[in-house]
């Protein structure tokens, strides 16, 4: 059975509690910034569609760089500057205070907010976010992005989305596989595809409007693309043998993939408009897991042509292939940050698989995780966090770690195993 749920924008009724992820922060920075996110005033009518301040509070806390003041500790709940009594917030050792107001007009939501420096007793930022009222939670994520960028200098990535595959085990029968779309905090999950056959390797188009994945619904692996607004699906490959690891090019015009139709698995390039297929690598070893550098000039891929899996790079202009990683006996599943400098990968240490980051400039490799079976890394569009699949309490879960290893959190699901995460690019409003 295969069920495609679409269109996504009209499918909020398809929210699946079984696919819901929850946040468990396990490690933050040593001296997080104390910030009070005061509940935003609501100007009706009826109840507020979302607790905007709570979403912002949770986003900032999840970054590990902020220590929000608990609501029970707040000595006041100002919504305008004249209502702020700085002495109350200094008594709580608060460094910043965020206040705001939200209102609705028809189906549109407007959120105004202001950030104040408690020590200086001065406003340091103010902003307005608007959008459909049914997207209130995403509007709250955008507020969190703005505050995060103002206080850290790094663009926020809370208003992004996640793709992942959840698997529900059926004793004595076939498992259920669900390709799920959710907010960056795991909220509002929407099942895009449900099947009794495996679903693998989800990925994003550069503009976030489409996704790709591998489905076994025809009895063998095939690569699909799917439009998120319309739900329209297109099967791109159905060759004998392996069809896997699709990776959109940065310009969105082509897709790298792994095919074994001509013998051993090699990297191919598919022109998405003409459907012309070009073979890039030719080797008797296994070449797999292609990923692009942001400039589109280079493909990184995993190959065991040296005897053990390592990361190689393929120059799209010259066709030259060169080995990239040498540290350790196993390096695989590379993903490149948008700065083009950092590469995250699966790295084996003492028989255990961890997530590591490799700096292409200094050639330094740093292991970021300490659990035993970490895989499928995906890096946030701002390059600050790495999402990956791991095991916890005997179940497959998602977890995240900052690129310096200082911040960590888990996103376990309420039911089933979760795997193969893919962090979206920045989404157009």
Q: What is the pLDDT of residues 276-310, one digit of tens each?
A: 999 999 999 999 999 999 999 999 999 999 999 99
d(CA 371, CA 392): 9
Neighbours of 185 (CB within 10 A): 20
Q: What is the pLDDT of residue 18?
A: 52
Contacts of 226 (CB under 8 A, 6+ apart): 4, 6, 192, 193, 210, 211, 212, 213, 232, 233, 234
d(CA 355, CA 62): 19
How many angstroms from the chain centroid is the CA of residue 84?
36
Q: What is the dihedral of CA 51, 60, 165, 324, to 10 degrees?
A: 160
The position carrying tokens 């069809």 is 243
What single DSSP character describes residue 146?
H
How many angstroms from the chain centroid is the CA of residue 251?
20
Q: What is the pLDDT of residue 2?
A: 57
Structure tokens belonging to residue 333:
């599943």
d(CA 364, CA 342): 10
User: In what side-by-side order are the strands of the sheet with 408-411?
Assistant: 24-27, 408-411, 395-402, 385-392, 375-379
**DSSP string over 168-232:** E--TTSPPEEEEEEEETTS-S-EEEEEESS-EEEEEE-TTSSEEEEEE-TTSS-EEEEEETTT--
Q: SS3 for 135?
A: helix
Contact assessment for residue 221 and residue 235, using Cβ atoms and an 8 Å cutoff = no
Q: What is the pLDDT of residue 13?
A: 35
Neighbours of 146 (CB within 10 A): 21
Residue 315's H or E segment, with its range, is strand 310-315
Q: What is the pLDDT of residue 54?
A: 97
User: Rg (Cα) of the chain, in Å, rounded?
Assistant: 23
Neighbours of 273 (CB within 10 A): 8
User: What's the pTM value of the predicted model, to 2 decimals?
Assistant: 0.91
Residues in the chain with pLDDT values less than 50: 5-17
Contact assessment for residue 108 and residue 130, using Cβ atoms and an 8 Å cutoff = yes
Contact assessment for residue 380 and residue 423, using Cβ atoms and an 8 Å cutoff = yes
Strand pairing category for 96-105 and 41-42 = parallel
CA-nearest of 278, 232, 230, 238 to 254 is 278
Contact assessment for residue 163 and residue 180, using Cβ atoms and an 8 Å cutoff = yes
Catalogue the E-assigned strands of 1-107. 2-4, 24-27, 33-37, 41-42, 66-68, 96-105
**DSSP string over 335-371:** EE-TTSSEEEEEEEETTEEEEEEEETTT--EEE---S
Q: What is the pLDDT of residue 166?
A: 93
Neighbours of 61 (CB within 10 A): 19
Contacts of 296 (CB under 8 A, 6+ apart): 249, 250, 251, 316
Length of the chain: 429
Structure tokens belonging to residue 323:
């080995």
């Amino acid at each position: 059975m295969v069920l495609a749920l679409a269109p996504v924008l009209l499918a909020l009724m398809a929210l699946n509690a079984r696919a819901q992820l929850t946040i468990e922060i396990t490690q933050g920075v040593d001296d997080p910034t104390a910030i009070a996110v005061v509940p935003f005033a609501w100007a009706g009518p009826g109840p507020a569609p979302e607790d905007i301040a709570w979403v912002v509070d949770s986003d900032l806390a999840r970054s590990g760089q902020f220590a929000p003041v608990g609501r029970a500790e707040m000595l006041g709940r100002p919504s305008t500057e004249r209502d702020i009594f700085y002495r109350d917030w200094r008594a709580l050792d608060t460094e910043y205070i965020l206040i705001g107001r939200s209102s609705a007009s028809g189906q549109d939501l407007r959120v105004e907010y202001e950030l104040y420096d408690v020590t200086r007793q001065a406003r340091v930022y103010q902003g307005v976010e608007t959008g459909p009222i049914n997207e209130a939670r995403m509007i709250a994520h955008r507020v969190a992005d703005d505050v995060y960028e103002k206080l850290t200098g790094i663009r926020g990535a809370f208003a992004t989305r996640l793709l992942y595959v959840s698997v529900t085990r059926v004793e004595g029968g076939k498992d259920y596989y669900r390709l799920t779309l959710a907010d960056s905090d795991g909220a509002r999950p929407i099942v895009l595809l449900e099947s009794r056959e495996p679903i693998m390797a989800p990925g994003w188009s550069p503009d976030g409007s489409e996704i790709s994945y591998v489905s076994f619904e025809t009895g063998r692996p095939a690569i699909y693309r799917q439009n998120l607004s319309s739900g329209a699906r297109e099967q791109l490959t159905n060759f004998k043998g392996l069809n896997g690891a699709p990776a959109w090019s940065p310009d969105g015009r082509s897709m790298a993939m792994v095919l074994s139709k001509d013998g051993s698995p090699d990297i191919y390039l598919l022109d998405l408009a003409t459907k012309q297929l070009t073979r890039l690598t030719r080797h008797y070893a296994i070449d797999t897991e292609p990923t692009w550098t942001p400039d589109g000039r280079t493909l990184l891929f995993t190959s065991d042509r040296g005897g053990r899996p390592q990361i190689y790079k393929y120059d799209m202009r010259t066709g030259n292939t060169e080995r990239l990683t040498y540290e350790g006996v196993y390096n695989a599943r590379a993903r490149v940050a948008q700065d083009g400098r950092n590469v995250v990968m699966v790295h084996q240490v003492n028989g255990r698989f961890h997530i590591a980051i490799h700096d292409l400039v200094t050639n330094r490799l740093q292991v970021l995780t300490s659990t035993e079976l970490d895989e499928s890394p995906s890096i946030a569009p701002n390059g600050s966090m790495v999402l990956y699949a791991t095991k916890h309490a005997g179940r497959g879960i998602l977890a995240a770690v900052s690129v310096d290893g200082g911040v960590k959190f888990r996103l376990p699901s309420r039911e089933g195993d979760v795997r193969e995460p893919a962090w979206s690019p920045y989404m157009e409003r």
